[in-house]
A and B are shown apart, each in its own frame.
Chain A
Amino acid sequence: MELDFFLQQLITGLSNGMIIALIAIGYTMVYGIIELINFAHGDLFMLGSFLALTILGALGIDAWTGGSTWFGVLLLLFCSAVFCAGLNWTIERVAYRPLRASGKLSLLVSAIGASFILVNLGLFWGGLPMEVFAGGVAAAAPKDFPPLVPNTNLLGEDSLVQVTPKDLLVVGVTLPLMVGLTWIVTRTRLGKAMRATAQNPIAARLMGIDTDRVIGATFLLGGALGGFASVIYALYNNTISFQMGYRAGMDAFTAAVLGGIGSMPGAVAGALVIGLVRAMSDGYLETRWTNTIVFGILVLILIFRPSGLLGSRAKEKV
């Protein structure tokens, strides 16, 4: 019984942590390359899930069975990833690139502005007269996301511990994405150019690297991960709301800082720590202490390891 409970919280914590990780990578990649905390990232993620729900609504789908479930999930993942990647790239082009020379603070303010625009876009989107948005009468109300991935217990209905296809979905999408991303960053020409730009943009340009293109590519990749995360989040939690970007972004940003901002494995480690700490605190202490504990740990780690869990470079940051 006690062990069952522990295992259950472990599973919940890992699943939640992995979703945070996907968003956190988007933050940390952008920070690593242009040292900007991209506040619009969480809201970009929110719009990805609205797109997914709109697609479901337009196709009139509210439940899938068998093999078509996985096909449908892939379709949503693809659409949201392309959408978020494109949007993130556009935001960089319109709101960040013209300001890149004018100091970090202008960039930061621009990012906050972009975030407001996206949130209000989400509010407007939720008010569209569609069945999935309940006719659009309550634009701000949380929207129910259809349970496309079943919640059946793979360990049998009698087992107290639940492992569901939802948990498998989270792990099954997140792990390959992380492996793929690591491969891109460490093994490809683009990855090499990204690392060079992150280390020293001027030197990279002198070496013939088109840094504008590399930065654009980074936003594309980060945005795509946000898009994947938005679909996974929606399928896992089954609720989306125009305000969810703020909390998701906050958790992811905390994870990125905890792991060492700018470091990709660090962001993943930070996110898993946050997911697990949340689950254990909710499970063994009281829910109201959870935020205190998460941020308490953050403070402690930053006191004793200012560069975060896996951060190595100690550069002057915003």
Chain B
Amino acid sequence: MTTLSTIVAACVSLVIAASSSAQNGTIKIVSSLPRTGSANAQTGTIVNGIKMAIAEVGGKIDGYEIAYEDWDDASPQRGNWDPTVEAQNANKAVTDATIVGYIGTFNSGAAKISMPELNRAGLVMISPANTYSGLTKPGLGEANEPAIYRPSGKISYFRVVPTDDLQGAVAAEFVAASGAKRVFVLHDRELYGKGIAEVFERRAKELGMDVVAVEGIDTKAANYKSLAQKVKFSKSDAAFFGGTTQTNAGQVAKDLRSAGFAGMLVVPDGCCEEAFIQAAGAKNLEGNTFVTFGGLPPAQLTGRGAQFRDGYRKMYNADPEAYAVYGYECGRVLLDAIRRAATKDRAGVLQAVAQTKDFDGALGTWSFDANGDTTNRVMSINAVKDGKFVFVKRAGDTAVEGAGKVSAGGSVAPADAQAR
């Protein structure tokens, strides 16, 4: 019985495949995410989210078959995203004319590499996870950002996550609200980690907190015991680490706690994954450690987001990680644009993505603004309890865009910010 039905199903799907591909041809979309290394637990669920979005439209739009390829931008040597591999992926995508959409990257540093390449080719890129502000927002990163990523002068890069200028500020506000007066800021010296730590620092100063020090760590060190002792001896009430699980956030948390630092520890969304709890050891995160995230954890999603979560559980028999919903959102927004596109080629799809307005997304209704950023501002603060992330509160709905912006007159930012 089962074999018979399998054979029938196979025949039917063959017929469908044959008939549909005969109609209008194939449109290809690809994703470029770190699939080797510890980020894989997170990126695997992002890929699942993309596949879900494709499955929802039955793998076809207007008679076009949607083909999807899952590319890896990491290398085993680095155990993390690799600039060489990301550059190869961008090249490969540009030279394959059937590719009309590029979903990625996971790391902001990787986006820097592929953005100009894809922009020149007019290939639309949508990121489920890049949060570094400078990629899209003028005045928040280096002086030549974001123009350097847009050699064609047009905007071809979009993202569905709220950026670090919002998230870093939310983290600082949360620390200030806890009554902390002195805060020690650490970062991993990478684009994302350093960027968010600087936003945190500026917002913390604006809120009247005393920033004891800002230090970049050596991400390959065996331990941070000396540094952790320095944090403890500085009598700081709170510490912020701008970095990810891949840049040793687990060891930082572990050593801070074993040095006897009892103050609040806040880490950003780069640590909002199971791998962080594994690396740090659940016990070390219990209590006074918080993780900010540019969105809501799966359990808190409502409406379309809740549908996604339940559908995901049914399809994969597992819980989605925090970013899975953004993979799903990227897939949906891209497919929606392909549907609306006047011509089903790169130019048509790019134009349709840019025109995305009042999109009925998993995190509410949002649009892409002129920079290519989502207008979605929903964020959350999470803690760890019994080895699992637990939701603490929703934040960010009222976050001010460009908090701690380096303005021309320096009226918002303190003087030293000009030096960047």
B120 contacts the other chain (CB 8 A): no
Complex CA–CA separation, A123 to B40 (angstroms): 13
Residue in chain B with minimal CB distance to A15: B225
Complex CA–CA separation, A284 to B40 (angstroms): 37
Given the interface contacts A8-B229, A16-B225, A278-B226, does A138 sit within 8 Å of B218 by beta carbon? no
Instruction: Return the contact of A140 from the options B38, B217, B251 (Cβ within 8 A).
Output: B38
A69 contacts the other chain (CB 8 A): no
A13 adjacent to B38 (CB under 8 Å): no
Contacts of B211 in A (CB 8 A): none
B230 adjacent to A282 (CB under 8 Å): yes
A151 adjacent to B258 (CB under 8 Å): yes
Residue in chain A with minimal CB distance to B233: A5
A288 contacts the other chain (CB 8 A): yes
A54 contacts the other chain (CB 8 A): no
B220 contacts the other chain (CB 8 A): yes
B254 adjacent to A141 (CB under 8 Å): no
B226 adjacent to A140 (CB under 8 Å): no
Q: Which of B243-263 contact A (CB under 8 A)?
A: 245, 248, 250-251, 254, 258-260
Contacts of A144 in B (CB 8 A): 250, 278-281
Contacts of B44 in A (CB 8 A): 137
Complex CA–CA separation, A160 to B234 (angstroms): 12
A138 adjacent to B260 (CB under 8 Å): no
Counting contact residues on chain B (CB < 8 A from A), the size range is 35 or more
A288 adjacent to B38 (CB under 8 Å): no
Residue in chain B with minimal CB distance to A284: B230
Residue in chain A with minimal CB distance to B221: A247
B181 contacts the other chain (CB 8 A): no
Query: What number of A-B contacts does a CB cutoff of 8 Å give?
Result: 119
Q: How many residues of A contact B (CB 8 A)?
A: 46
Contacts of B220 in A (CB 8 A): 243, 246-247
A290 adjacent to B218 (CB under 8 Å): yes
B113 contacts the other chain (CB 8 A): no
Give 1 or 0 for each of B141-157: 1 = CB within 8 Å of chain A CB: 00000000000000000
B274 adjacent to A134 (CB under 8 Å): yes
Instruction: Return the contact of A16 from the options B40, B222, B258 (Cβ within 8 A).
Output: B222
B138 contacts the other chain (CB 8 A): no
B233 adjacent to A239 (CB under 8 Å): no
Contacts of A151 in B (CB 8 A): 258
Given the interface contacts A9-B229, A13-B226, does A162 sit within 8 Å of B260 by beta carbon? yes
A238 adjacent to B189 (CB under 8 Å): no
Q: Distance in Å from the Cβ of B236 to the closest Cβ of chain A? A: 14
A316 contacts the other chain (CB 8 A): no
Q: Distance in Å from the Cβ of A164 to the closest Cβ of chain B? A: 8
Contacts of A120 in B (CB 8 A): 76
Q: Which of B261-275 contact A (CB under 8 A)?
A: 274-275
Contacts of B76 in A (CB 8 A): 120, 123, 140
Residue in chain B with minimal CB distance to A1: B233
Contacts of B224 in A (CB 8 A): 282, 287
B258 adjacent to A137 (CB under 8 Å): no
A86 contacts the other chain (CB 8 A): no
Given the interface contacts A141-B41, A239-B254, does A287 sit within 8 Å of B245 by beta carbon? no
Q: List 13 A-B contacts (CB under 8 A).
A: A1-B233, A5-B229, A138-B274, A141-B37, A151-B258, A160-B233, A242-B79, A247-B220, A251-B222, A278-B226, A280-B226, A283-B229, A287-B216
Knowing that A233-B222, A283-B227 touch, tell me 6 more A-B residue pairs with CB under 8 angstroms.
A137-B41, A138-B40, A142-B245, A144-B279, A144-B281, A162-B229
